[in-house]
């Protein structure tokens, strides 16, 4: 059995769409915010996987964390509309990186495997009105970098280099490879 250490609707949807069976075991681990983006994503994914409470004698726990890195700054989830506006203004008309850390461990803690996927995302120039309208729709809240590529923000993203699912929050190819390597599927 695979346990997802997240209550993220996006991560649940990605796993389901890939035909991967799982149960949700939310983790309330404290996240770090300082460091380079790869370290932040991998450490937070590890903390989430270790922080998931599972009452089972066998199975695997999957944790993940996504960090947006732009102009030398790590962008997590916006704290409010003003923070979302600042992030979207920073991303507007620029290229940035998205790092998603993935941690797979067994419930008995005999192994832990942490990896990071990175991709590049190009944002079109957004007008102040477009930023305000996007914030008003509410989609930006709870998302790293204050945007959801799979939602309304997709119209501002002309291209990416790398995994679309990495930007959404769970790189499916990497997760599938890790599950196969550890005979978790």
Place of tokens 């404290």: 30
Any catalytic annotation for residue 83? no
Q: Report the distance separating Cα 117 and Cα 68, nearest Å.
A: 12
Are the C-beta atoms of residues 11 and 169 closer than 8 Å to each other?
Answer: yes
Residue with tokens 């979302």: 84
Rounded Cα distance between 136 and 19, Å, is 34
Which one of the listed residues 34, 65, 106, 113 is annotated catalytic?
A: 65
Residue 51, both tokens: 């922080």
Q: CA–CA separation, 116 vs 66, rounded Å?
A: 9
Cβ proximity of 113 and 105 under 8 Å:
yes
Residue bearing tokens 């149960």:
23
Tokens of 158: 């002309």
> Coil, helix or strand for 117?
strand
Gap between the Cα atoms of 85 and 140, Å rounded: 9
Q: Which residues are catalytic?
A: 65
């Amino acid at each position: 059995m695979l346990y997802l250490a997240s209550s993220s609707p996006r991560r649940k949807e990605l796993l389901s769409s890939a035909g991967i069976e799982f149960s949700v075991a939310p983790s309330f681990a404290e996240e770090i915010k300082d460091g380079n983006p790869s370290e932040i994503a991998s450490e937070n994914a590890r903390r989430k996987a270790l922080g998931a409470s599972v009452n089972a004698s066998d199975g695997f726990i999957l944790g993940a964390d996504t960090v947006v890195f732009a102009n030398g700054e790590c962008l997590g989830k916006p704290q409010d509309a003003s923070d979302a506006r600042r992030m979207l203004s920073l991303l507007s008309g620029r290229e940035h990186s998205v790092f998603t850390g993935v941690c797979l461990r067994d419930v008995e803690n005999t192994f832990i495997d942490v990896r990071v996927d990175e991709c590049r995302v190009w944002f079109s120039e957004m007008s102040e009105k477009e930023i305000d309208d996007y914030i008003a729709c509410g989609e930006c809240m709870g998302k790293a970098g204050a945007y959801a590529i799979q939602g309304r923000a997709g119209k501002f993203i002309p291209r990416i280099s790398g995994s679309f699912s990495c930007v959404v929050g769970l790189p499916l190819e990497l997760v599938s490879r890790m599950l196969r390597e550890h005979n978790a599927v």
